[in-house]
Amino acid sequence: MAETIAEKSAALSREEGEALAAAVNKLELWLGVRDMYEPTIEALENALGLEQADVVVLYGDSVLAGVDSLVSAIREGIAKKSMVAGGRSYATSGLIAAIDAEHPGLVPEDATAADAICAYMDHRNDPLPSIVSSEGSNIGALVRGTMRTLREAGIDPDTIVVIADPIFMRRIEATFALAEPTVSVTSLPAYDVQTVFVPGVGLVLQQPTPHGMWSLERYLDLMGGEVPRLRDDENGYGPRGKGFIEHVRIPPEIVEAAELLEEFLGGHRKADPAFA
């Protein structure tokens, strides 16, 4: 049986474990660009100087805390239009599992992220988004699909509030900057979470965890794949690599934190051709 993250981290010394937890938290803070901390008009005014954005969009492969944030944003009226976007991706099964834990059988296992979220919102009697896009298996496709869907609906936004998993937020901003440089993107991460090291137990997510939070294994697996993708080299997604995002400057301390996590994980998550 494969060793779990908890088991592997439990074998670390206090110094090693605390250094690893600090690296994970540093990565979460840097990856999760935070222009807004809550879905309120006051927070939007502080971030943009506006009382209302053109669109608020939830990218589907977030935890359920992102759904809660979108619902609050709709009720607060922070944007003229609301949207949920997401097809099938690497993380969709985790989202559906979280919904199934609360409402067994509500969502089929092969549902898209957007369809799963809308079914969940409808079941809770939440206000539903004005626009839904069930396409996009990666962040590049999500961003470009968002703008295509909006324009097909006669909406050409200047300002978009993006609710997404913090792990993906910096890549989302870098994708928008390349694909839609005239659009002002305001980031609202779906959650904030801290990782701590408990001697003899290992790494754990600090309680209480966000609503529908990934397992520790899934969280670190998703996180471990981000900095390699953000690199602007032959293997990364920047202009000198795949050309999916604009150049992102990665501070030395973030490179160091990512290397420590990658060493602990024994590598990083590769792109799945099924979701490319």
pTM for the structure as a whole: 0.94
Q: Which residues contact 146 (CB under 8 A, 6 or more apart)?
A: 57, 83, 85, 133, 136, 160
Let me know if domain 41-189 sits in CATH 3.40.47.10: no
- DSSP for 4-65 reads PHHHHHHTS-HHHHHHHHHHHHHHHHHHS--S-SSSSHHHHHHHHS-S-EEEEEEESSS-HH
pLDDT of residue 23: 98
Domain at 5-31+193-275: CATH code: 1.10.3620.10
CA 75/CA 250 separation, integer angstroms: 36
Q: Which residues contact 126 (CB under 8 A, 6 or more apart)?
A: 67, 71, 74
* pLDDT tens per residue across span 41-57: 999 999 999 999 999 99
pLDDT of residue 274: 40
* pLDDT tens per residue across span 66-119: 999 999 999 999 999 999 999 998 889 999 999 999 999 999 999 999 999 999
Q: How confident is residue 276, by pLDDT bands cut at 50, 70 and 90?
A: very low
What is the domain partition of the chain in residue ranges?
5-31+193-275, 41-189
pLDDT of residue 117: 97
* pLDDT tens per residue across span 155-192: 999 999 999 999 999 999 999 999 999 999 999 999 99
